[in-house]
Amino acid sequence: MKSYIKGMGTYVPDRIVTNDDLAKRFDTSDEWIRQRTGIEERRYAEEGIGTSDLAKEAAVRAAADAGIEIEQIDFIILGTLSPDHHFPGTACYLQPKLELAGVPCLDIRQQCTGWVYGMTLADSLIKTGPYQNILLVGSEVHSHALHFDDAGRDVTVIFGDGAGAAIVSPAPEGSERGVLAHALHADGRHADRLCYRLFDISRIPLADAEYLESVENAWPYMEGRHVFKEAVVRMPEVVREVLASTGHTIDDIDLLVPHQANLRINEYVVSSLGIAPEKVINNIQRFGNTTAASIPIALDEARRNGQVSQGDLVCLVAFGAGFTWGAVTLRL
């Protein structure tokens, strides 16, 4: 038995925030942001809108695209870096919004690699369990926690809000469509190079006001150069690994969907793999880094604009905090 993507849906907020908009709030410029990240604009959710709200909209669209009713969803997997609450999981907030009481819910906190990890899990659940329509969604509302000042600039310019979802189901008997292989990795020795320390409640008492007010803990910490160096090695490496496991080569790929963290990273990965640029989708220019949502948003866009078609060989690849990385090959 194979699992396949039966349908997809995307939802991004209406509000567009350009680089020039950010330049009015702290010391930056359109040129500075484009040169370092490739980003031109991103979307921000309105006040009071949370991650589960965006996830709901993407889920409804994915179900409609799959030709199923919402009540036919029998498992929910949600990947996010920006949960509605520290606990419980955001999937448990999404579930009642979809009126799916009783359906099992699971959050994946693998940040940028969340959707690749989630796709691997959904595939395994289809193969071993009774599930017919698994909702896999990546959703992020970063904008509410960003710092719009010079100190927070390097992080703030990168992130945007959005959600992407898929319905993962058993592939029709005899169909070539479906997940062919996946490979996942992690190296926790690098965990502190990309992290967020504000809620280290297992080590630092919440009553420690000095810690909570510390500037260095107020936003995500990132050693950008180190992240870049690891990403441009690990992403091509895992793409080759997952292709080799199915007997395919780079030339066989119809579409590469990399996580949209930084356009410069993706350009380096494309060059390293030797894949034609027209076989790669990049939309970070318009959406920024939407973390767990970036791969489904990009894949759904490629489907809708005709860059990829049913039956094409697709490779999804991501690298993120942890460090974690992984890839999935599938016939769309």
Question: Residues with catalytic annotation?
Answer: 112, 259, 289
Strand order in the sheet with 75-79: 3-11, 162-170, 134-140, 75-79, 105-108
Residue 198: φ, ψ to 5°: -60, -40
Nearest to 16 by CA among 57, 58, 51, 45: 45
Give every CB contact of residue 306 below 8 A, 6+ residues apart in sequence: none
Cβ neighbours of 126 (radius 10 Å): 24
Partnered with residue 3 across adjacent β-strands are: 170
Q: Are 62 and 166 in contact (CB under 8 A)?
A: yes
